[in-house]
């Protein structure tokens, strides 16, 4: 199973996009590969998949700091659509920050430039952070106690 939650192996699913061997064919494929890149701490890929006009607002150092401060545990796809030159993906990225369970709930906009998709912007919906105790069930879906699963 891929990091992004698809049934394919990472080497077939997201890795070819992250390594530059293939171009993501849709906004959803790009979103999934960006999520995988966040879990791997690959800030350069995330930066390179921002629309050019958004790259200055999102320096590699800040992307890296965020990616490395979180432990991503699950990607939940809600909806996606692509038209010829624009598209969107609505998703929830579940992650841990210290002992907080957080959800990034976003509807992301994508644009296609010279045949390649890029992340343009997103509308983030507010979600509560949940303090996790060691004996709580881990939110990753393993049904294990947090202390035996993702607790650090």
How far is it, in rounded angstroms, from Cα 127 to Cα 104?
7
Count of structural domains within the chain: 1
Q: Is residue 110 in a domain?
A: yes
Q: What are phi and psi of 124, to 5 degrees?
A: -95, 130
Q: Does residue 29 carry a pLDDT above 90?
A: yes
Q: Is residue 2 in a domain?
A: no
Domain boundaries, position 24: 15-148
Q: Is residue 5 in a domain?
A: no
Q: Does residue 68 carry a pLDDT above 90?
A: yes
Q: Does residue 52 carry a pLDDT above 90?
A: yes
pLDDT at 133: 86
pLDDT at 151: 74
Q: Does residue 134 carry a pLDDT above 80?
A: yes
Q: Is residue 9 in a domain?
A: no
Q: Is residue 1 in a domain?
A: no
Helix, strand, coil fractions of the chain, as percent rounded to 5 = 25, 35, 40
- The two structure tokens encoding residue 73: 């545990």
pLDDT at 99: 83
Q: Is residue 116 in a domain?
A: yes
CATH of the domain at 38: 3.10.450.50
Q: What is the mean pLDDT of residues 30-38?
A: 98
Q: Is residue 3 in a domain?
A: no
Q: Is residue 7 in a domain?
A: no
């Amino acid at each position: 199973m891929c990091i992004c939650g698809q049934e394919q192996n990472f080497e077939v699913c997201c890795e070819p996009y992250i390594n530059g061997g293939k171009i993501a064919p849709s906004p959803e494929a790009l979103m999934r590969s960006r999520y995988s890149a966040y879990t791997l701490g690959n800030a350069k890929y995330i930066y390179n998949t921002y629309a050019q006009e958004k790259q200055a607002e999102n320096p590699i150092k800040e992307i890296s700091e965020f990616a490395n401060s979180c432990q991503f545990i699950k990607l939940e796809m809600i909806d996606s659509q692509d038209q010829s030159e624009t598209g969107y993906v609505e998703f929830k990225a579940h992650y841990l920050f210290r002992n907080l369970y957080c959800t990034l709930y976003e509807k992301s906009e994508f644009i296609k430039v010279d045949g390649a998709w890029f992340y343009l912007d997103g509308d983030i919906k507010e979600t509560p952070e949940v303090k996790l105790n060691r004996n709580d069930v881990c939110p990753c879906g393993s049904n294990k106690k947090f202390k035996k699963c993702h607790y650090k």
